[in-house]
Amino acid sequence: MMHPTTAHEIEIATDDAVSRLLSPGGERLPDPTLDPFVADVGADLLREMYRDMHIVRRIDTEGVALQRQGQLGLWAPCLGQEAAQVGTARALERADFVFPSYREHGVAYVRGAPPVEFVRMWRAEENSSYDPRDLRMAPPQIIIGAQTLHAVGYAMGIQHDALTGRAADEIAVTYFGDGASSQGDVNEAMVFAASFGAPVVFVCQNNHYAISEPVAVQTTHPIAGRAVGFGIPSLRVDGNDALACLAALRWARAHARAGRGPAFIEAVTYRMGPHTTADDPTRYRDAAEVEAWRRRDPIARLEAHLRMLGAFDDAFAADVVAEADRFAAEMRSAAIGYASREPITVLDEVYAEPHSGLARQRAHFSAYLDGFADEEAPR
């Protein structure tokens, strides 16, 4: 059992030394730190979380298929990380603002992203992301770790608003992976967050691989312990346990909203698929490792728990599958039917006034595009 660490203590642990509320077989486990934060959680919410996770997996499957069929330029799978994303996202309030990386499809779904928003960016279309104001979620960040700085800056803005009498019941929360935890941006973000007591929650999804580098190459200690070095309390939870992830984010949010500064969560999970669809994970990990983690499947774990509660039956399962298929069908339709702008328009509205340098670029790009024009076949 692992309790929140402070600046004066750190527990060095293996992957199994995590806080959890559901065993891999679905049994409910006690945890004095997490239990108070899920005392109100019943079968209804657990069923909704299961529904979310199943749909997110279906979104992920469809995204990979669309990329393989040439409809998307790239896709970053989140297969295996559904509990870490849905569990934490379900703990957020609507006013909270999220700063994700490029893999948080589950968070975007919980925040209300419609099907088209899961394909527009990966097609590189105009305005290729959702409206951040609608979802209270920044556009996906491709630069590794940069979103943590944005989150801390936003959280410091929340503090400023409080000083000017415009306080709101909100926090900032940022998601990143174990690889990003070694980036300078993430560490600088934690320095500022701790120094100024910013109401921000750092969520590290430790999926064991920074592209091809295993987490053991980055650290021999739990990543949650890094936060302690900055004076930030942390929790290390089973990232394949949706209930534990819900409780952990509720704990972190309560800490931040109470004016006690930032909090850090390490959700220990596993990336079952490739880093992106441009990656071949068989080159750097073996099948036995993947199979071992497959037996810890987060969706199967929550299903097992619901069956123990008598809250899962064939009718519910069929309804969830049908809803997931409908969402995926709308995703596919949005991708295939998307009316892309002409490539040359990428140079429109770059400057308010005509610009000679831009005119030369336009002429060069136009000539390049003309090289792809179909020539009339000889007769």
Is 341 a residue of the active site?
A: no
**Which residue among 226, 255, 271, 305 is the active-site one?**
271
**Which residue among 57, 253, 275, 305 is the active-site one?**
275
Cβ atoms of 107 and 325 closer than 8 Å: no
Terminal alpha carbon distance of the chain: 78
**Which residue among 160, 284, 295, 364 is the active-site one?**
284
Tell me the C-alpha distance between 169 and 199, whole Å. Answer: 10
Q: What is the DSSP string of 152-203?
A: HHHHHHHHHHHHTT---S--EEEEEETTGGGSHHHHHHHHHHHHHT--EEEE
Please give the backbone phi and psi of residue 303, each rounded to the nearest 5 degrees, phi first. -60, -45
Is 150 a residue of the active site?
A: no
Burial 44-76 (b: 16+ CB within 10 A, else e): eebbebbbbbbbbbbbbebbbbbbeeebbeebb
Q: Which residue has the tokens 């968070």?
A: 107
Residues with Cβ within 8 Å of residue 209, at least 6 apart in sequence: 178, 179, 215, 271, 275, 281, 284, 285
Is 295 a residue of the active site?
A: no
Cite the active site residues: 271, 275, 284
